[in-house]
């Protein structure tokens, strides 16, 4: 299964009773392992958790901590980028040259690097003196 296929498959599993906006994400770790996640909403937190955060949690639980590639899919007119919080979370595990491909269900796509998605990101190197 390709990374795009994994993101599309998990997008269908999203639990979004409030927004009805399903998002799926798949991460390929440097190890080659693939992890996926979908957005989840609940009554106490109706904006929910993001698909990217779910995929990152699965990756860390699986023993990987370095991202090689990301795919995000949503049923929207234009490719949907990760939210600001997820961009920072992704950047924690992905270098500036890692690509993030954003897909729509009708085949549109946009690929950007982490640096283009989150220029000037806060990184571990900022804490060298800590």
Confirm or deny that 15 is annotated as ligand binding.
Answer: no
Between strands 67-74 and 94-104, the pairing is parallel
Confirm or deny that 39 is annotated as ligand binding.
Answer: yes
Confirm or deny that 45 is annotated as ligand binding.
Answer: yes
Q: What span, in angstroms and rounded, lies between the C-alpha atoms of 85 and 65?
A: 18
Q: What span, in angstroms and rounded, lies between the C-alpha atoms of 84 and 125?
A: 20
Confirm or deny that 41 is annotated as ligand binding.
Answer: yes
Confirm or deny that 42 is annotated as ligand binding.
Answer: yes
The CA-based angle 83-81-71, given to 5 degrees, is 115
Catalytic annotation present for 52: yes
> Which two tokens mark 75?
């049923």
Q: Exactly one of 52, 66, 92, 115 is catalytic; which is it?
A: 52
5's enclosing H/E stretch is helix 3-11
* CA distance from start to end of the chain: 42
User: What residues are designated binding site?
Assistant: 39-45, 50, 83, 86
User: What residues are designated binding site for substrate?
Assistant: 39-45
What is the set of active-site residues?
52
User: What residues are designated binding site for Zn(2+)?
Assistant: 50, 83, 86
């Amino acid at each position: 299964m390709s990374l795009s296929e994994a993101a599309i498959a998990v997008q269908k599993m999203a639990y979004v009773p409030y927004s009805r906006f399903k998002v799926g994400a798949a991460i390929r770790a440097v190890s080659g392992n693939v992890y996926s996640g979908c957005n989840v909403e609940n009554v106490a937190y109706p904006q929910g958790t993001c698909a990217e955060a779910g995929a990152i949690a699965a990756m860390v639980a699986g023993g990987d901590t370095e991202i090689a590639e990301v795919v995000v899919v949503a049923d929207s007119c234009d490719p949907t980028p990760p939210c600001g919080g997820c961009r920072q979370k992704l950047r924690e595990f992905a270098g500036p040259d890692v690509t993030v491909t954003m897909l729509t269900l009708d085949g549109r796509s946009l690929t950007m690097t982490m640096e283009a998605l989150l220029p000037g990101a806060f990184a571990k190197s900022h804490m060298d003196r800590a």
